Amino acid sequence: MSPPRHIARPAACWAGFALDRPLVMAILNVTPDSFSDGGRRADSRDAIAAGLAMAADGADIIDVGGESTRPGATPVPPDVEQARVLPVIRALAAEGVCLSADTRNASTMRAALAAGARIINDVSALVHDPLAAAVVVEHACPVVLMHMRGTPETMATLAVYDDVVAEVRAELEQRIDAAIQAGVRPEQIAIDPGFGFAKRSKQSAAVLRRLPDLVSLGYPVLAGLSRKSLIGALTDETDARRRLPGSLAAELFAVQHGAAILRVHDVLETVQALRVWRALAE
């Protein structure tokens, strides 16, 4: 029997969290070259301190990554990636922090889960490494499947669509089906439209406007809008670090249109904005 193409009703929980409010996933890049914060936390002690501060500021999940996947980024060997992230994951897990591993490499997934990560966040939706799905199945862990075409090196050339929303939805459905066929449980899956990944700013904006088309698949939708080029295009702000106001506006728009998880750089500001939004919406 073929797996279901979508769940009949929206998920009520994911990764042990009730989805009665938007979750905040904090970005913790332990890299020298990420697009807006590369090099700031390349030292594991700085990264651990930053992660603890994010948790104190209200992050539900901290997403630890050791490989930049910005447009044009070159691959990082898994051993280098692991040397960056594993000390950080071990230390934060020991403090009870809920962690996701932002990686597309199966060996890093396995090592991160052993070190205390609970979630896998794969920008390639388990495509990059043929062993990745088996790791997720073996550990029965939650996984984020992101839409992307090609690789960080090639994706900019693949941003060609007739109907970007319909095609992103169809391609995400394909990745969901493949994951379920491999043994991933549907309730463990969240999806990410991949704003800025194989999408120009206008295309990302179209996906955001029609986010309910993806929410209707029935899986929790993660929106990674923080400091993205979409925000820069809408505000004419070229410095990614000065895009907080626009990021908050886009993130609240995403929540209003069904996003269940926000992946952000600025935790305190996002948590506060969500609290005000929720209080006024009640």
Q: What is the CATH number of the domain that holds 193?
A: 3.20.20.20
pLDDT value, residue 3: 42
Whether 201 is in a domain gets the answer: yes
pTM: 0.93
pLDDT value, residue 41: 59
- Cβ contact 105:69 at 8 Å: no
- Cβ contact 241:227 at 8 Å: yes
Whether 65 is in a domain gets the answer: yes
Whether 226 is in a domain gets the answer: yes
Would you call 25 helix, strand, or coil by DSSP? strand
Number of domains in the chain: 1
Handedness of CA 67, 62, 104, 191 (dihedral sign): negative
Kind plus residue range of the DSSP H or E element containing 28: strand 23-29
Residue 199 a catalytic site member: no
For the record, the structure tokens of 235 come out as: 């505000």
Whether 127 is in a domain gets the answer: yes
Choose, from 41, 210, 228, 243, the residue flagged as catalytic: 228
Whether 14 is in a domain gets the answer: no
The count of other CB atoms within 10 Å of the CB of residue 137 is 17
Beta strands in 30-111 (DSSP E): 61-65, 99-102
- Cβ contact 202:230 at 8 Å: no
Residue 155 pLDDT level (bands cut at 50, 70, 90): very high
Whether 5 is in a domain gets the answer: no
Given a cut of 50, is residue 39 above it in pLDDT? Answer: no
| Mean local confidence (pLDDT), 54-69 | 95
Q: What is the mean pLDDT of the chain?
A: 93
Which residues have CB under 8 Å from 276's CB, separation 6+? none
Whether 4 is in a domain gets the answer: no
Whether 3 is in a domain gets the answer: no
Residue 263 a catalytic site member: yes
Q: Which domain holds residue 226?
A: 22-281
